[in-house]
Each structure stands twice: as structure tokens, then as C-alpha cells.
Structure 1
Amino acid sequence: MFLYPALTIGFLFVAVPLLVHLINMLRHRRQKWAAMDFLLASYRKQKKWIRLRQILLLLSRLAVAAVLIAMLCGWTGGGPILGVLGGSTTHHVVVLDDSYSMGDSSGGVSAYVRSLQTLQDLTRRLASDDGIHELTVMRSSRAAMTVRGGSDSGDSAADLSAQTITSDARLINRVMSTEVSPIQTDLVAALDLAGELIRTAPADQKVLYIASDFRQRDWASPQRIAESMRAISSDDVSIRMIDCAIQPVSNLAVTDIAPVRDVWVAGVPVVVNATLRNYGPNNVSNVPLEVKVYHYSAELGQPDPTLAVSGRVESLPALVIESLEAGAEITKTFQVFIAEQGTHAIEVSLPEDSLAIDNSRTCTLPLSDAEKVLIVDGSTDGRGAYHVASVLDPGSQVRIGAIPDIQPLSFLRSATAETLATYRAIYLIDVPEISENVADALDRYVRLGGGLAWFLGNEINKDSYNEQLLAGDRRLLPLPLETQTDVPPPSEASSADVIFGDAPELLAPLRAGGDAALSLIGLSRSWTLETPSLEQPDDTDRPRVRVAIQRRDGAPLVTQHDVDRGRIITVLTGLDGSWTNWPGDPTFVVFLLQANADLWSGAAPPTQRFIDEAVNRQVALSAYAPEATYVPAAMEPPRVPIEVAANVIEDAAEPFASIAQFAWDPTELVIDGEANLNDLLRPGIAEWVLTRSDGRGQVIPVASVLRTGEGDLRRADSAAIQQDLLPIEVKFLSSDDWTAQYQTAGSSTLALLLLGLLGTLLAAEQTLAYWASYHAPASGTQKSKRSFLNHQGPFSVRGGR
């Protein structure tokens, strides 16, 4: 009812004229005087008329005071009452963009806070307007998660759905308490669900409000958004777009952090890459990058919810970004040394800027003890096994993390998936033939995350390899083997026997030197792979094959491809020295170390998860209890644990192989109406708390990270957006203009009426005051006497001398 309720205390001022009147009445004194008897007699005869004039004068002064205070308090009138008695119905649908770019605090206040202020101003305005007003509020993050969960119900995504606005402003309290979401999303899902609510809700008029920050990444080419808005646009729907952001000041973000693919073993240094991007409009220099390592020892059995992270904190020396141009990206590299086995966590963070949520990023580092690798050499002299084992275990004080286990061919013939599972990687060198049992065991091993390397020399049976390794859905070779082919003689274009291919990460340390780094490798002969013909049907199950090294004529020599969780590296030449001198070249050491790290990484658990992905954890039921606790990351403690029950996957053939799967999906929480979803989606270090079969607890960190892209705060032009949305007519307003407009527009018409009423009351008060008071006549005694008799009721006389 009032824009400024605190000023309503001023209505006490209305009592002032009444008090003055009462005080004046107390000032009269009784005094005996003969002439007064005549006056009193006249007064008794006219006292009703005199009192009426005094009452009217008093009421006019009280009304003047009341109207003046009502204007100062911003009285908005009795619109809701009039609406209930018979006004039109208007449905107001507000779409709030709460993607994390709305946390941009350029100018001191975040864009999301401005959007909430817009909603509050609108609600106050509608509470004072005539007619019936219904309000729907929908946040883009909830809408996106609802659609992702398979629901198309706008009611389940909306914070408020067609709620009638009354004078009670508590209707939007729940929305006003929300914060910007850590989810990256556009407005398409929210507009689609809002459109469904607009079409189904009965109303005489419909208004759609879009409160967003209108960044270039979403609105430079708004085809999808325009399509959703066209489905909403109609004659009875008006669209207003409220721009809640201002020109961004600066934003430096950590866009990635990950340990380099390697043999992650306790006691061996691990290289970590942190990538940073300058999204701001200005160059930056001398920016510190803080690095922390969180140690989770085996003795840590329970989390500490009163701390942001339960692990022991170790601060590493800060890195410095000397300079970074606007829009540029840089990768900083540092080493982490942890002597303890287990999963640990790493965090890098930047100083605060206009968008604080992307200033830090985390990853986990799973460290195991040294593990065995299987080496089987089919040649009689075992030279290939010697070359591989000497690189993986050079002896002395150098620790690679691999323990070579050289086995004869007979071991491979009797191997099963269970025996192979004890090895982290398998190297098969010049194995003549592959049986179906071996192929099946290798296929299961790779699909579960194992690494397999082939070295194919002169003695292998091509038909056995093609039939067994590519039978059914097996993809243990990149393509079928074709023939052994000599390397053509050098030409003017290329004199080196081998050159780099299209898989740079496998030989990353050598790529800086170009093809010259491989110039000392001699190659006379190798296997070639079949090339699929255009007449053959496209095999959609064929893995993507990348070539790390190729021959002079372009034929592959070293390939890499993935099968489910595992990785396979195929070298189309042997290691016995008959076809190549590569084992004696220093580049072979680099290649084998990189290949071993690549093969190990397939079985390593992921080092991070996106915050809006389902949370999953699988453990052996024989080693862990089927109950666990998940402690989400939090900006500030305390953290609230979530109890999670396992879905037990039984294995009838092998009960000891049964799996306990813990999982919860954020999309299900949205559909179920979870109000504090954002608290469960905080980026940072979350923690699983598992219970071992012996009753001891185990805390395992999980790195929850943002999806990148929202940090780009460049603004889109409103005129260009309006042009792209044609023929849809939209009205653009900044949040500041909106606030100014609705603080005054809500009472502008009523203010004019009150101002006119105040003027009328003041004129009436002056007239009544003149009428009820004595005024001396212009001239003449008789005229003065008559005037005295006519205007001074209590003192007038009749007759006499």
C-alpha cells in the first residue's frame, strides 16, 4: 500500500491540528461582565452554526495533514481491492537468468542482485495496480536441469507458478533469498517451459519479462532463443527485456587444471598443468596464482564438516603470471610430489575480481604404488622384451613406477581376464598367433581400462590376428593387417624414413624439434593396414585411429586408438633389429615412457567431474559396506553430508565380484522440488566417505568443477538483439531505468490525484478560516457595527444602546 512504509509514522502529525484546537479552547477565562450577557444570549442562539463552521475548518486541516503524509509515504492506493471487485487478470511471467555469469559484480553489485531488485520492484508495482495480477517466476538453471531430467512441466521448474499478487510482499521471499547458480546454461529451456505456462494459464493479458545480462556468447547469434520466443509471441503477450549487467571491468579465470597423463605413482613427481584465460578488456601483469595440495592419508577415516576441506593443507610456492593480454590464454606448469598412496586434491586460485566463482579450480590426483606390467616376447632371443623392460625399469635410483614381468608365450596361452587384471599394462612383442581365448581375455582387459601395446614383427600370423582380434565387436587392432611392405627410397621431399603423425601428445617432448628429431631412425620394412574402400559400408563401431608416427610414404607406423575405457598402441614393426634400428635410438626411450604413461591413464579414475553431472562411485561389495556419505563442496563451512544407499549389482557366477554403486543425480533433485539445489552444486572439493569391510572409514576427495565459457563477459548490443528477434517486438530496459520507472510509475497517477486533492483542501481550509474569523470592515462605523454583528457570532448583540 505504501512505497515507503517507514514514513507512515508521520500520520501521527494528523493529530497536531486537533491538539492545537483543544489547547485554544483551554485558553478562555470566565470573567463577570454585564455586557457579556447580551453576547452569550446571541451565542446560544447561533452556537450550532458556529460549531459546524469550526468542525469543518478542523476537518479540513486534518485532511490536509493526512493527504500530505500519504504523498510523502508513496501511497499506492487500493488497487488489489478494486481488482477483486471486478478487474482484468494479467499473467506476469518472469524468467531470471541465474547462470554464473550473472555473478559479475562490476560496479559493486552483481547482475543477479539487480535482477532480484527488478522482481521486487515489479511485485510492489503490481500489488498497487488495479485488476488481478498473477506472477510466475522461473530461474534458467532450474529449467535447464528439469528439461535435462526428462520433464517438460513448467510447474516443476518454476519457483512461483501463477500466484496471485496481494499486498503481502512475502510472496517472493523464497526467490529473493536465492543466489546465482554455478550452472552454465542459456535461456532456451526456461523460455520453452515459460511458453507452456503462458499458453495454458487463463488471463486477459500476458507479459513476459526476461532479466538477463545479455552476453555475446548467447545473443550474438540468438537463433535458438529467437525460435523459443517466437513460439511465445502473440497479440496478447508483450515481451520486456531487462538488462541487469553493466560494462564488465575485468575477469581472469582458471579454465582447467589437470595432472599430465603419466604413471601416477606415490613418491614420483607429477606434472600438473593449470590453464588461465583473461576474459577482461585489459591486459594484466604480475598476477599471483596460489597453489594448494590437500593430502588425504589412509588414516583419515571421517570428514570434518566444520572445515572447507578435510585433508591436510600444503601450500606450494605461488606462481606468477608475468603478463597476459586481453582474450589470451596461458598454461602454467608445476610439479607435485606426494609420498602417500591414495587420492589427493590440488587447487589453484587467483585473486578476486568481478566474477569470483571462476577464480579457482580443483582436480584430484590418484596415486598408486608401483604396479606390474606384463611383457611377452615371441622371438627366440627375447631382444624386444629386454628393450622394453630396460626402459621401464632402468634400475639405480630412477623410479618409473612400473615393475616389468617378462613371461614366456606359454603364460599368454593360459591367461584369463582375471590373471591379466593384475597388470596395469601389457606389451606383446612378435607373438606369432592369437587364440580365441586369448583374444577374448585381452578384449575384456582393455574394455575395463587396461592398456595394450602391440609390436608386430616378421613372425606374426596375419590371418590369425585379423580373424581373432577383429572378430565380432573386438577392436584390438586399428584396422586389418594387410602386407609387409618395404619403405620406398628417399625422395627430394623427404629423406627421413619416419615422420610425425596427427597424435602429438604421444610424442609431445619430441615435437618441438620437428621431424628432424626422428631423422636418425632407420626403417626398411613394416606392416601396412588395409584402407577401407568407398564401396564398404561405414562401420559406425570402428574406433577413431590416430597416427603418432608414419612412414616416409605416409603409411602408419605407430597408431593409437581407444576401446571403451582402455587404450591400444600398435607399432607395425618389430624390435629384433631386422626391420628398424629404433630400439637403439634415444627417441625410443621417450616414446616408450610416453606410451606407458598413456596406457596407464586409461585405468586411472577421472580427476574431476562437472558440477551438473550425476555423482557416481563404484566399489567392490566384498571390500566396502553398501552405505556411504557424500559431503558436497561448500563456500564456507559447515558442510551438510548426504547419506547415499548403494545399488548392489550382483554377480551370480562370482559373488565376490559384486559391485556397490553409489549415485545421485542433480536433475532428480530439481524435479523433486529440492529448494537448495545450488548448495549441492558448489564447485570445489567434495568428499566421499566409505566404510571398509573392517569397519574403518575412508575419505576420498572429488573435484567438482564449472563448465567453462560463462566467464566471457563481453556484452551484446541491444539494438542488434532487437534486429535479430524481428518480427518479435520487444522492449529493452536497463535495470536502473526499470527501478527508476517503477518507483515513480506505481503512484504517478495517484500522486497527481493526491496533489489535486491537497490543493482543493488547502483552498477550502483558507475559505473556511476566512469564514470563521473576524475581519474589520473597510470604513464606516455603522458598517463596522453590522460587520461586527454579522461575523462575530459569540460576540454579536441585538438592539441596545
Structure 2
Amino acid sequence: MLTTVAQTSSLFTAPLIAAAAVAAIAIPVIIHLLWRVRRQRQVWAAMRFLQVAIKKQKNKLRLEHLLLLLTRCLILLLLGLGLAGPVGTGLSKLFGQRSGQRLVHLILDDTLTSGAQLRVGANHLRLDDLKKQAIALLDQVGEKDHVSIWRSAQSAMPLLPPSQLNKPQALQLIDSIKPRHTASDMRTVLATIQSQLDDAAYLGYEQTIVILSDFSHGSLGKQTQQSFDRLARDATVCLIPPAPSIPNMQITKVQPRRSQMLRPLDGALAVMLDVTLARQGKIDQAATCRIGLYLDGKEVSTREHQWAAGQSQATVQMDLSWNDSVTAYPFILPIEARLASEAQHNRLHADDRQFTQVQIREQLRILLVDDAVSSSTDAKGFTASQWLSFALSPAQNSLNVQQVTAAQLSADMLVNVDVCMVLRPDQISKPQMASIDQWTRKGGMLWLFAPADEQMAGLPVWALNLSQQLDLPVKLDVKQLEGDWGLNLASRPPAALSLLGADWQALLRPVRVSQMLGLFAPLDSDSPTQAWLSLNDPAQTPVMVSQPLDDGYVLASALALSPDWSNLQTRPLFVPLLHEAIASLTSQSASRQLLAFKPGTIPQLGERFTQSSQLIGPKRMTLKRDSSGKMVSTLPIDEPGVYRAQQDGSKNLLLINVNADDASLAMSDEHAVKQLLFDHNGADASHAKLHWLDRDNPTWPTVDSTANSQLGWNLLWIALALMILETMLARWFSHASTQQRSWAGWLWRGVLKLLHLDHGPPQRFGKGGSR
């Protein structure tokens, strides 16, 4: 069979190396021909005897030389072809050989996007079309063929392992597939199949991979550096063309303004939430949607949102009132947000729900670390701790304030504390600071003030110990700065004090600063450190900064609570500053400890779940203790909703929320799918074996359906064996010595006798005679 250059090059992964191997055959041939070049011979007496001996052995020597030449040519050819990577498919095409059996890997997309409705008013999902196409392809599979069925949503496990086709079983499995809420695991499925191409049980099979998906961004999952070009090279890959885009609305996030709130003394608790929305498709049209907030399945608040033409994202602010009585605190209040809209603008409903939670506390416990009770007072007759106690007194019923001295502070005392205000950091020892550091990192709020009687020049020792122990970029500097400054009125309130934004400048204006410690902090855009208050000097010197520390927060103030330093404690800013800072930062620390996960995860749960053997929610999930001692579910949790622990479910719960990115219906085109999965390195040769099937009438491709295998290693092993054989033959044919000839010599002479090429007994050199 004649083949074109393009067809021949497709037999190898590196056709240039194959061409070089063919050219290399000429090297031993040229050497052989040069060795045979006739030279003028001088006849002398003893030469006649040698010519007679050579004439007798002429045919034998010619055969030896020919065998060595063929062996060396074959070694060079096999080495080159082995390194060129010959592919079984190409060789099958060259010789017209085809395998009689086929292994089909059928991949069905059952991710979030497969649950989108194809038509308005019809309960017909995208997955229904994909299952219909899978059944049509299985009807064309032979009875002796083998089939495996995969689902592309997490977790990547074969629904049906490779086995001989059992059509009723396969059809039943396909019919049982439903859309799932988990993220796409398409790449793991393809990687697993790619790793199984060399499975010895299926080396002689024609391997075909069929991907039935809508190829939306959500169904493809996150981009990685992994490429599956070997699948397109060593197997036949069939794909359904990407589906057309359809419109969708979704709730991407529900975020309470405060994740932790205190129980109101009277009346209802008002919870403020921000509901973030997004939409795709038909965004050039105006639309309307309705958002409802639910507690325990009961709607308690609702609001409509009008989408303007061209608008694709929006944030809706909503309020929720809660006034149920609870006997035990703290109590976690789960809140559900639901989206409802016109069907023509929202074809996917799995992403119309999001869950959040608010922890409701009866009290916050605040620890004031100051001098002994007999500590000095300022000009107005108050100690620093008294200024703080007065400022916190309006919320005394919900704030439990306790004062201790630095000598009394211990790790046990910090166990149930929410906020620790250190007014005399110069009296804190290194062991005490280590305990404060551990407590803060676990979610505590630490507020450091400058000591009022600090008179030391140079860097204070306590400030050095403080910065080293807490390992913070915020540093208290060398000495007190004196002057008469106001606060920077052009600054904006930090996010934690956003509720003071309307009155921010009016609150800052009366504050004057007469002395302070130097405070240095990285305040660039990439730093989590924030300046809450700063001077109105040219350098905008920070006066108070916040810094996250693992799950907790540190607030550092360069001011002491004394009229000799500033009038902050006597101005209207002081009280709301304290209350908003405590409420906001403790809420942010609490939000980091609340449990929320994506579908398909096996969450690790803390100590408070150790008394429960089950999670109760949309599904009952069994818990077990893992090797690290934490409680985990025995199976991935894939159904969105609220899951409560079997014991103390009001305090111990977790949320499972759909990831908005996994529900993206933005579509890819054929070129993008090729590049994303099979052409990551830009090699166009791999595209030759991708086949796009007809959506309405899918049929198996009639080309490239031969068995695929890599033959390179086999050829290299054969070349190695020939190299060993060539070495033995070259040694034998050299006739350097015949005294040590082994059984191989007798075998060789037997072959020559059979060919009638052995004309006499072997002659010997040395003592046994000479030629």
C-alpha cells in the first residue's frame, strides 16, 4: 500500500528522527563497500597458499560479512524508529490491520450546568439530551465490545468499570444519572483514562473516548497545566459540539454585615445582609427578579430587584427581623436566600439558593489589663481602665467587663475572653505575651494602648518584646513625639467602622493629639494592615492601626488614655469607636470560624462535633474520627443546605453552598475546547483524531478506529538484543582464535553444513596449526 509523506509522518511522534534512522542505514553499507574496494595485489611465493585457503572459504566469509552488515543496519534502523515513537494506529493504517474489539469510555456531564432547562416551560434538561445521545451510541456498540461509563462531576469514579457490554445494565445506569451540585472533575476523569491506556488487559483493543457535555465554563472546571494530547494521539476522541448559550440568574453570595450579633434586650434583632446577584445571557434586556429570605423554611423578608439593560451584577441590601426566644446561647441562626425570576431569564435553578449564618451571643467578655487598683489617675482624676469602663457602660448588659492586673493575667483567664485590652503592655512578661499570642491567633481581639507613664528614651524593651512575640509588621517606635495635631479629616473610615461613615469627619474634627509613640506599619495596597486614625501632618502619621493575626485581630494605638496625650477619651468619637471596633472585629473573627463548604467535600470538623455520630440535613451523613482525631463524614457531602450536629444542633452546624463559578453557563467554542483539553502545548497534530459528533444523530467515526499502542520501547529492546548478537557474531567471525570456541561454534558450523558452505575441518592457529 502506498502512502503519502503526510500519512507516513503520522506514524511517528517524531518523524524527523525516523527519517534520520532510515538515512543512517547507509552508514554500514558505505563502510562495507569501502572495505571491498579492490587494491593492486603483489603476488609472492607464500601468497599462493593463502589464496587457495581464501578461495575455499570465500562463500563462508561472504555470508559472515553479509550477516554482520544486515545486523548493523537493522540496529541503526530500530534505534532510530524506537526513539521516533511509532504509534500502533499509524502502523495499523499502513498495513491495513484492524482490531476486532473495542473499548469505549463514555463520559457524561452531570455537573450543575447539566440541570439547565433547554426550553422555557418544558421540564427538559440538558442532561436528558446527553443521556439520549449516550443511548444512541450504545446501540451501535458490538456485543463483544467493552464499555466503561463515567460521570464528570466530583468525585471522579467510574459508574461502570470497563467490562463487556451488558446493554440492559448500561441503559439502567445511564437512566439513573441525575444532575449533581458538585464541581466538574472532567480533568481527573480524562487523566485516569489516559493512565489506563497501557493497561495490559486492553492493549489489543481499539480505545475510544466519548465526551458528552455542554462544554460550558462550569462543566470544564478550573484551568490547569495538565494536557491530554496523548488521548487524542493514542485513542479516538469523540465529542458533542458545545451547546448554545442560554440565559441564567444566580445568587453568588449572601453576606451578613455582622456574622456575630448580641441578643437585643427588647424587641426584634435586625440582621442586615448583602445579597450579591449575577446574570448571563440576554443582559441587553431589562429584567425583574425577587429575593426572599427564609428561616427554617419560612419566608420572613422579600425584595424585588430591577435589572437595567446591560447590567450583569448587582448587590441587594436586605434586612431580616428575628425575635424568637432561645434558652441557650450562643446560638447560630442559619439564613437561606432564594431567587425567583422569569423563566426566560433563568434556566438553571440549582444556583438560586445560598445559605449563610449569624452567631447570636448573649454577652461578650472583655478583659482590661491595667495597673493595680491603686494606679495613678490623670488630671481629671480617672485611670485609663476607668475611661474604658465608662465608655463601655451604655452596653454594660451585653458586655461583661472584667479588670485584672498584669501580674494576674494567665492563659486560663483568656479561655472564654473575646476582647483583651492591654493598657500596660510594659508590664507584660514574655510567657504572658506568648499566651496572648496563642489566644489571639485562635480568634481573639487584642487592643494595645501606650502606657500613660512611658518616659523611656530609645526603643522601649516592652515594645521590642511585643513585636518579636506577635511577629507583626506593626512596630511601636523609639520615643514619644510631642506637638499639637489634629486627625486627618480626608481619610475614609475603615471597613470595620463603615457604620460611622456619615458622621466620620464630624467625629474626627474635635480630637487633638499632644504626644504619642511612634507607630510604623506597612500601609500599601497589598498589606492587610489598615490605618484607622492618622494625623493631619504631611506624612499622615498613623495613630491607630489594625492587623489580622491568623483568626484574630490586633489593634495598636500610639496613644495612652490620658489627657496629657490626647483628648480622644473625652470626645464623641471615643464611645462609638470602641463599640463598633469590638462588634466588627469580633464578628469578623467569628465568621472565620463558622463552617461553610462547597458540595463534594469531606469537611474536617472541630472538637465540638465529637459527641455527634451524624449530621442531619437534606441528607443524613455519618461522622467518624480520622487519623488526626478530627470528625469527618464518611462520604462527601454533595447536597446544598444546612447540616446540624446530632448533639447541640443549634450551636454546631455547617453550611453547604453551591459555588457560582461551577454554575457558569458561559459557553466555549470547539477551538477553545481543543486548546483547553487536548492542545495545551499548541501541537496541532493531536487534533487529527478529535471527532465532533452530530447532536441529533450521533454515530461512531469510521476513521482512526484501530487499536493504539506505543511500540517505541519494544523496538528499543529488540535493538538492544541485536547489539548483543552483533557483538557475539563479530567476535566469532573475526577468527582471531579457535581454541576457546564454545557450543555456539558447533551450532554455527552445523548451520553452514546444512547450507553446504563448510568445505573442510576448521583450521587452528598457534600450536594446533596455522592457516
Stretch of structure 1 that moved more, 546-555 or 357-366: 546-555
TM-score w.r.t. structure 1 length?
0.63
Deviations 1:395-435 (A, max 9, x none): 6xxx7732222x253xx312211112232211122443211
Partner of 2:278: 277
- The Cα of 1:486 is off from its aligned counterpart by 3.7
Partner of 1:729: 687
Residues 702-781 of structure 1 aligned to structure 2 (within 5 Å): 702-722=654-674, 725=679, 727=684, 728-729=686-687, 737-742=694-699
Partner of 2:63: none
SS at match of 2:252: strand
Mapped pair 1:207 → 2:196: no
Partners of 1:531 and 1:371 in 2: how far apart? 29
Mapped pair 1:662 → 2:652: no
- AA in 2 matched with 1:287: C
Residues 181-260 of structure 1 aligned to structure 2 (within 5 Å): 181-185=180-184, 187-200=186-199, 201-216=202-217, 224=224, 227-234=226-233, 236-243=234-241, 245-248=243-246, 250-260=247-257
Deviations 1:131-164 (A, max 9, x none): x42222222223xx46xxxxxxxxxx22223222
Residues 80-479 of structure 1 aligned to structure 2 (within 5 Å): 88-107=100-119, 108=122, 109-127=124-142, 132-142=144-154, 145=155, 157-166=157-166, 168-185=167-184, 187-200=186-199, 201-216=202-217, 224=224, 227-234=226-233, 236-243=234-241, 245-248=243-246, 250-261=247-258, 263-267=260-264, 268-282=269-283, 283-294=285-296, 313-324=297-308, 325-338=310-323, 339-340=325-326, 341=329, 342-351=331-340, 353-378=346-371, 380-381=376-377, 382-394=382-394, 401-405=398-402, 407-409=403-405, 412-460=406-454, 463-471=460-468, 474-475=469-470, 477-479=472-474
Residue segments in structure 2 that go unaligned for 5+ positions in a row: 1-97, 703-771
Partners of 1:400 and 1:286 in 2: how far apart? 44
Deviations 1:248-270 (A, max 9, x none): 0x322111123223652233433
- Identity among equivalent positions (%) equals 16
Distance 1:568 1:450, change over 3 A: same
- AA in 1 matched with 2:474: L
Distance 1:730 1:417, change over 3 A: farther
Partners of 1:612 and 1:546 in 2: how far apart? 36
- The Cα of 1:740 is off from its aligned counterpart by 1.9
- The Cα of 1:369 is off from its aligned counterpart by 1.3
RMSD over aligned Cα, in angstroms? 3.7
Partners of 2:220 and 2:159 in 1: how far apart? 25
Partners of 1:468 and 1:354 in 2: how far apart? 60
SS at match of 1:356: coil
Deviations 1:7-55 (A, max 9, x none): xxxxxxxxxxxxxxxxxxxxxxxxxxxxxxxxxxxxxxxxxxxxxxxxx
- The Cα of 1:370 is off from its aligned counterpart by 1.5
Mapped pair 1:688 → 2:686: no
- The Cα of 1:355 is off from its aligned counterpart by 0.9
Distance 1:88 1:586, change over 3 A: farther
Mapped pair 1:505 → 2:484: no
SS at match of 2:190: helix
Distance 1:469 1:742, change over 3 A: same
Distance 1:482 1:330, change over 3 A: same
SS at match of 2:426: coil
Partner of 1:61: none
Does structure 2 retain, via aligned residues, the 8 Å contact 1:95–1:191? no
Distance 1:134 1:468, change over 3 A: same
Partners of 2:487 and 2:460 in 1: how far apart? 31
- The Cα of 1:467 is off from its aligned counterpart by 4.3
- AA in 2 matched with 1:729: H
Does structure 2 retain, via aligned residues, the 8 Å contact 1:93–1:198? no
Partners of 1:393 and 1:376 in 2: how far apart? 17
Partner of 1:576: 562
Partners of 1:369 and 1:742 in 2: how far apart? 67
Does structure 2 retain, via aligned residues, the 8 Å contact 1:496–1:518? yes
SS at match of 1:586: coil
Residues 27-46 of structure 1 aligned to structure 2 (within 5 Å): none
Partners of 2:397 and 2:282 in 1: how far apart? 45
Does structure 2 retain, via aligned residues, the 8 Å contact 1:456–1:572? yes
- AA in 2 matched with 1:169: P
Residue segments in structure 1 that go unaligned for 5+ positions in a row: 1-85, 147-156, 295-312, 533-541, 634-638, 650-659, 670-676, 692-696, 746-801
Partners of 1:733 and 1:284 in 2: how far apart? 40
- The Cα of 1:587 is off from its aligned counterpart by 3.4
- The Cα of 1:631 is off from its aligned counterpart by 1.9
Partners of 2:507 and 2:551 in 1: how far apart? 32
- AA in 1 matched with 2:263: A
Deviations 1:756-799 (A, max 9, x none): xxxxxxxxxxxxxxxxxxxxxxxxxxxxxxxxxxxxxxxxxxxx
Deviations 1:433-490 (A, max 9, x none): 211232133123223322111122453475333343344xx31754332224648888
- The Cα of 1:744 is off from its aligned counterpart by 13
2:511 paired residue among 510, 513, 521:
521
- The Cα of 1:499 is off from its aligned counterpart by 5.3
Partners of 2:339 and 2:604 in 1: how far apart? 30
TM-score w.r.t. structure 2 length?
0.65
SS at match of 2:660: coil
Partners of 1:647 and 1:189 in 2: how far apart? 25
- The Cα of 1:287 is off from its aligned counterpart by 2.0
